[in-house]
């Protein structure tokens, strides 16, 4: 139909500009063939997008730069005097991680590497990162539970889950 309008407007402008003759578009067989060709219900094929693949995070020892500094916060003299706070720098990405979750240096190193892996995972994989997958899973679960609850407590005249005392008060007792 759209093609017919375009052809009609071009025919009227060029061939019948003086208004003496008006074409009957239904009598022109070539126009209907063209319009049928372009008005089919088939959708053009879209090129398939390559699926993103989760990339495993590998950290090499040569890419890391460690520093031990004096910690602070709760814990008293033991944490304030000792160098048990870890600052970890990933050289290729420039990400800095500071960790002082415990009094032990080795435990803080473990936590620092864990935090660095999580940050690199988010930076490299984006939506496919483990953290974002957990968040998406929790959102889907919350939505599913909300929908089930709405279906269960749907408000209609034949609510089977209603309290019998409320039914007596409203006069809906059978």
Which tens digit of pLDDT belongs to each residue from 28-38? 555 555 555 55
Q: Which of 104, 120, 14, 112 is nearest to 67 (CA)?
A: 112
What is the phi/psi pair of residue 69, to 5°? -125, 165
Residue 31 lies in a domain: yes
Residue 21 shares a structural domain with residue 79: no
The 3-class SS string of 86-126 reads EEEEECCCCEEEEECCCCCHHHHHHHHHHHHHHHHHHHHHH
**Do 31 and 76 reside in the same domain of the chain?**
no
Domain annotation covers residue 53: no
Whole-Å CA distances, 25 to 9, 18, 21, 80, 128: 11, 18, 12, 91, 55
**What's the domain range around 21?**
2-38
The two tokens of residue 150 are: 């709405």
**The predicted structure's pLDDT at residue 163:** 57
Q: Is residue 149 part of a domain?
A: no
Across the range 156-172, mean pLDDT stands at 55
Closest of 76, 65, 54 to residue 112, by C-alpha: 65
Structurally, how many domains does the chain consist of? 2
Residue 119 lies in a domain: yes
Tell whether the model's pLDDT for residue 135 goes beyond 90.
Answer: yes
Each residue's pLDDT tens digit, 87-123: 999 999 999 999 988 888 899 999 999 999 999 988 8
Residues 29, 81: one domain?
no
Strand, helix or coil for residue 34: helix
Label residue 118 exposed, middle or buried (CB < 10 Å: 0-12, 13-18, 19+): middle
Confirm whether 168 is domain-assigned: no
Range with the largest mean pLDDT of 38-42, 61-65, 80-84, 169-173: 61-65
Statement to judge: residues 71 and 113 lie in one domain = yes
Does some domain include residue 164? no
Determine, yes or no, domain membership for 154: no
Distances (CA, A) of 73 to 42, 67, 79, 91, 94: 67, 18, 8, 28, 26
Tell me what pLDDT residue 22 has: 55
At residue 37, the pLDDT reads: 53
Q: Which two tokens stand for residue 63?
A: 């890419």
CATH number of the domain that residue 104 is part of: 3.30.160.20
Whether residue 165 is contained in a domain is answered as: no
> With 0-12 CB in 10 A as exposed, 13-18 as middle and 19+ as buried, what is 112?
buried
- Please state whether beta strands 95-99 and 64-69 pair in parallel, antiparallel, or not at all (unpaired): unpaired
């Amino acid at each position: 139909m759209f093609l017919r309008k375009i052809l009609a407007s071009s025919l009227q402008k060029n061939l019948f500009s003086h208004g003496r003759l008006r074409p009957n578009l239904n009598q022109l067989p070539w126009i209907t063939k063209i319009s049928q060709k372009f008005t089919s219900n088939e959708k053009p094929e879209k090129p398939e997008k390559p699926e993103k693949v989760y990339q495993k995070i590998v950290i090499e020892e040569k890419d890391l730069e460690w520093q031990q500094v004096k910690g602070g916060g709760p814990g008293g003299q033991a944490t304030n005097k000792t160098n048990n706070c870890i600052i970890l720098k990933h050289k290729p990405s420039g990400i800095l991680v500071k960790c002082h979750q415990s009094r032990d240096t080795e435990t803080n190193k473990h936590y620092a590497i864990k935090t660095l892996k999580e940050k690199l995972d988010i930076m490299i994989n984006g939506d496919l990162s483990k953290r974002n997958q957990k968040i998406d899973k929790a959102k889907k679960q919350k939505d599913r539970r909300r929908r089930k609850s709405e279906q269960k407590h749907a408000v209609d005249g034949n609510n089977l889950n209603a309290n019998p005392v409320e039914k007596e008060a409203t006069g809906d007792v059978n």
